[in-house]
Homo-oligomer: A and B are copies of this chain.
Amino acid sequence: MVDLIISHCNPLVIEAETDAPVVWRDYDIAIAAGKISAIEPAGRLAGSAKTAVIDGRGMLAMPGLINTHAHVPMCIFRGLAEDVSLERWFNEFMWPLESNLTETDVYWGMLLGLAEMIEGGVTTVADHYFFMDRAGQAVVEAGTRAVLGWAVFGSNGRPALDKTAEFAARWQGRADGRITTVMAPHAPYTCDDDFLRATVAHAKRLKLGIHIHAAETLGQTEMSLKKRSITPIGVLAQTGVFEVPTIIAHGCGILPEDIPLMTRPGMRVGVAHAPKTYLKLGMGLTPVAALQQAEIPVGLATDGPVSNNTLNIFESLRLMALLQKHEARNPEVMTIPQALDIATRGSAAVLGMADRLGQLAPGYLADIILIDMSGLHHQPLHRPLAGLVYNTRPGDVHTVIVNGKVVMENRRLLTLDKGEIIRQVGLNMTRLARRVPENRIQLYNP
């Protein structure tokens, strides 16, 4: 039974012969039981009396965007750490600020960020933060999809690690399967090898992946080599992290010799690329071209809203494409189809979901966004694919569907109360902005 038809839209699909994205004109998309059941030229699909219809006339339909690495609730601290070095960012700003954090802050911060992401067409996020039961509750209410991991430092100790595993077990598959979980140790420089091994043991026992920061900068890699003659990626390989599916956040310090460690048979290691953070904090860039050449999945990410300072995946897409051209001093690299592939199938592959997310095709999960390209900044629309990469803004996202359910229609959020979220977050601004550098949750000293 068809639950929903998006009629007369222009879907972004993968053309079979070329394996490249193309836009078909005037098609209907049918959705049944949370999945895409058919995509056919308009008028061919018939629903029943119960089938809802969304008019997609003139809209580009594409897979919901995926944010492969974020700390969404950090949007409550937006703007509080500017123009400072990475070390000061952690030690004098972020980690002291996070000592203010309560469970309730995480709940409202997660709702705020999820609402911002829905407005910008992001339907899935891999979130790495604290008090994740409350983040999970927010995802249940928002109706979006998430891969949740409860962040933990080695200094928190084994009982804390065990609790993050209990969280992962408790939430795996909840919210009609919209929520999946991972283990989320912070980074090799904050978790010692035994702690990482214990994390791997939990992940294997629970059949889960691991989401971890690693080789965030070349500086971290050099420091690791100096201190212990092994790269951060080498540490992950040696401690068994890569024996379970792994999402590596950032990887700006990945060296050529790290790459074979990430591509052994049976491994599933992907890298989340959050370019705005790297520019803003002077971190260098993920070696996207080298990873792609080695067929290591690369996905788009925002990172947290204190470095980004938003949760805008269209901006990540645009920056990723522009910076690849800039770094290579070659405008012919990272073409529009390649950039869109990273934003869709690449990001899905980083999360290990390439068989069900990141494409509009029958059998795939019905996470679909409709983009209105009638705005002045798109017109005249000679090349919709160019418009998607270089012109599209969150405000162009018209309608958002997750798991077959409409969560935003004509820019109106259907699952969340925007005014109430803003009000709740605003109540605590003074407390949240209080900063005592000695009162930090962790020390950055890679």
Measured CB to CB, the residues of A under 8 A from B are 75-80, 82-86, 89, 112, 115-116, 119-120, 276, 278-282, 284, 308-312, 319, 322-323, 325-326, 328-332, 335-336, 374, 376-383, 386-387, 390-391, 393-395, 418, 421-422, 425-426, 429, 432-433
Contact = CB atoms under 8 A, between A and B. Distances in A.
A79 B393 contact: no
A113 to B, nearest CB: 8
Given A84-B332, A331-B86, A382-B433, A418 B376 contact: yes
20 contacts: A75-B379, A78-B382, A78-B391, A79-B381, A82-B386, A83-B331, A112-B376, A116-B377, A279-B322, A279-B325, A281-B325, A282-B326, A282-B328, A282-B330, A282-B331, A312-B377, A376-B418, A377-B394, A380-B429, A393-B394
Contacts of A381: 78-79
B325 A282 contact: yes
A310 B112 contact: no
Nearest to A76: B380
Contacts of A82: 335-336, 383, 386
A393 B393 contact: yes
Interface class of chain A by DSSP: helix
A382 B331 contact: no
Counting chain B CB atoms within 10 Å of each CB, the highest count among A322, A328, A332 belongs to A322
A280 B331 contact: yes
Contacts of A319: 322
Contacts of A284: 329
Given A78-B382, A78-B386, A310-B391, 4 more contacts: A75-B379, A79-B387, A278-B326, A380-B422
Contacts of A425: 379-380
A161 B379 CA distance: 32
A79 to B, nearest CB: 3
A79 B386 contact: yes
A75 B421 CA distance: 39
A311 B85 contact: no
Nearest to A425: B380
A83 B335 contact: yes
